Structure 1
Amino acid sequence: MTSFTDHFAPVAADYGRHRPGYPPALFAWLASLAPHQALAWDCATGTGQAARGLAEHFQRVLATDASNAQIRAAEAVPGVDYRVAPATECPADDGSVALVTVAQALHWFNGDPFHRELRRVLSPAGLLAAWSYGRLETGEPALDALLRALHDETLGPWWPSERRHVLNGYRDLALPFEPLETPDFAMHCHWNLPQLLGYLSTWSAVARCRQATGQDPLADLAAALAARWGDPEQSRTVRWPLSLRVTRASGAPAHA
């Protein structure tokens, strides 16, 4: 990160409450490939969604974020050490980290300085795993059309330019080390209408629009969704396909 812009400080508490968690199978798969389970680093942890999943498999998880507000809103979990730090300053010893994860945040980074820090902290044969998720799907064409219109039209002018990397699955971002083949993973939530609207309120474009215009871009959408949702307390399945890239540093693991 060259100059850090905290897009999520105004919604940090809501981010912690409303952002979906990642599939447990993702963390189990990554842990199975890691050269050891002593230490993982969740870089740009936000409010700790990925860090909590890593804590099921690693003895210690360093969870860092440049945002004070996000770290303050993070849920305390045994084994997770939250720190305020940029992506270029990991509070870990040289060669000590088995796995570095970057969940829904790589698009904010300045690549070269972050890559130098990766090379410093990763163990031999250590892993970098970066993933993103873009548009959500409900499987209901009328609902999905409303959500696409919000994302592409209503909020189009308010998305930071980095959003394009999320939508193309990080395909155009350079990563160091040897790429690995990855399985398909997806996030699933069973949400009622207020929960869905809570999630939408955490989008950076929503916060930017509210700050700049004083208007709530979700107000009209909420009414339109309610007309098609039915009972607002009825749960529907919401799905996000994950775009996952994993690379491995050179060297043999210490236990080999």
Structure 2
Amino acid sequence: MKDNFSKQADGYATFRPSYPREAFDFILSFVPNKNTAWDCGTGNGQLAVQLAEHFDKVYATDISEKQISKAAKKDNIVYEVSSAEENAFTVSQFDLITVAQAIHWFDFDRFYAKVNVTLKNGGIIAAIGYNLPESDEAINLVIRHLYADILDDYWDPERKYIDNEYKNIPFPFKEIPVSEKFAQRAMWTIEDLKGYLNTWSAVQHYLKTNTENPVDAVLDDFKKAWGDGEKKEFRFPTLLRIGRVIK
């Protein structure tokens, strides 16, 4: 798994959107026993904190020690710095395994082997994520210009899984259909939007080889597109794959 987010851990904790309660409740509806969960690639622990409201114990792992250090602490969350593919979890330990905006970075074969071992019979794996933020069309055009034109050569190859809405990730489980459409929502100032865009891995790759921040380069375009009002609503279409392990 690549560590593309340690450098911007502060911004990630501040500006990354939380996951919609409706999607979270949908996942939980397939998990009858809520003893132990594993949030893999937890980042700053956004989803782990939600899981902790429902499970006796939550294990939350990430390869980034800096991200873990920013995570919200709860008595029933155990944070560990470890990879998705290599850790000390045991046979049939978990009722639920979640991966939030991270599964596209994993070695699928090795991670899924770990999932099949550590999930209980009938246990659930849920991969959740989100696509580009959407707002007024004028703002959307600037976002897409930054994403697809300016940063096109700076995205990691794994980003294609997000672009394809997780539809083409390998998912060798008994899949549960997801017909409902979910979305994260946020009310942001233009500075909030700037903070979020600076957490993009492609922005960090761009900064390594260029002197100008690409987000700053389009800031005037965002200001022109913003129109009236200090804050705008942004909508992040939720990506969701859910499967059950049958042993």
Give the TM-score range, shorter chain: over 0.9
Of 197, 201, 204, 1:204 maps to: 201
Q: 1:52: Cα distance to partner? A: 1.4
Q: Determine if the alignment matches structure 1 residue 47 to structure 2 residue 44.
A: yes
Aligned mates of 1:35, 1:120 — CA distance in 2:
19
Provide the residue aligned with 1:151 in structure 2: 147
**Alignment: residue pair count:** 246
Aligned mates of 2:109, 2:97 — CA distance in 1:
16
Aligned mates of 2:36, 2:243 — CA distance in 1:
17
Provide the residue aligned with 1:240 in structure 2: 236
SS at match of 1:166: helix
Q: Determine if the alignment matches structure 1 residue 64 to structure 2 residue 61.
A: yes
Q: Determine if the alignment matches structure 1 residue 195 to structure 2 residue 192.
A: yes
Q: Which amino acid aligns with 2:113?
A: R
Q: Determine if the alignment matches structure 1 residue 224 to structure 2 residue 215.
A: no
Q: 1:79: Cα distance to partner? A: 2.0
Aligned mates of 1:243, 1:108 — CA distance in 2:
15
Aligned mates of 2:64, 2:191 — CA distance in 1:
27
Q: Determine if the alignment matches structure 1 residue 112 to structure 2 residue 136.
A: no
SS at match of 2:7: helix
TM-score under structure 2 normalisation? 0.95
Q: Among the aligned pairs, what percent are the same residue?
A: 35
Provide the residue aligned with 1:125 in structure 2: 122
Q: Which amino acid aligns with 2:194?
A: L
Q: Determine if the alignment matches structure 1 residue 96 to structure 2 residue 129.
A: no
Q: Indicate the larger mover: 211-220 or 102-111.
A: 211-220
Deviation readout 1:12-42 (Å, 9 max, x if unpaired): 1110111000012222222221141011110
Aligned mates of 1:157, 1:147 — CA distance in 2:
16
Q: 1:76: Cα distance to partner? A: 1.6
SS at match of 2:126: strand
Provide the residue aligned with 1:175 in structure 2: 171
Of 139, 142, 153, 2:138 maps to: 142
Aligned mates of 1:162, 1:50 — CA distance in 2:
22
SS at match of 2:8: helix
Structure 2 residue runs without a partner (length 5+)? none
Deviation readout 1:136-189 (Å, 9 max, x if unpaired): 100x11111111100000111111111011110111111122000123211011
Structure 1 residue runs without a partner (length 5+)? 252-256
Aligned mates of 1:237, 1:79 — CA distance in 2:
33
Q: 1:111: Cα distance to partner? A: 0.8
Given that residues 98 and 126 in structure 1 are in contact (C-alpha distance below 8 angstroms), is that contact kept between their aligned partners in structure 2? yes
Q: Indicate the larger mover: 170-179 or 36-45.
A: 170-179
TM-score under structure 1 normalisation? 0.92
Matches within 5 A, 1:71-90: 71-90=68-87
Q: Which runs of 4+ in 1 moved over 6 A?
A: none
Aligned mates of 1:104, 1:59 — CA distance in 2:
24
Q: Which amino acid aligns with 2:105?
A: W
RMSD: 1.4
Aligned mates of 2:182, 2:50 — CA distance in 1:
14
Q: Determine if the alignment matches structure 1 residue 11 to structure 2 residue 8.
A: yes
Q: Indicate the larger mover: 15-24 or 47-56.
A: 47-56
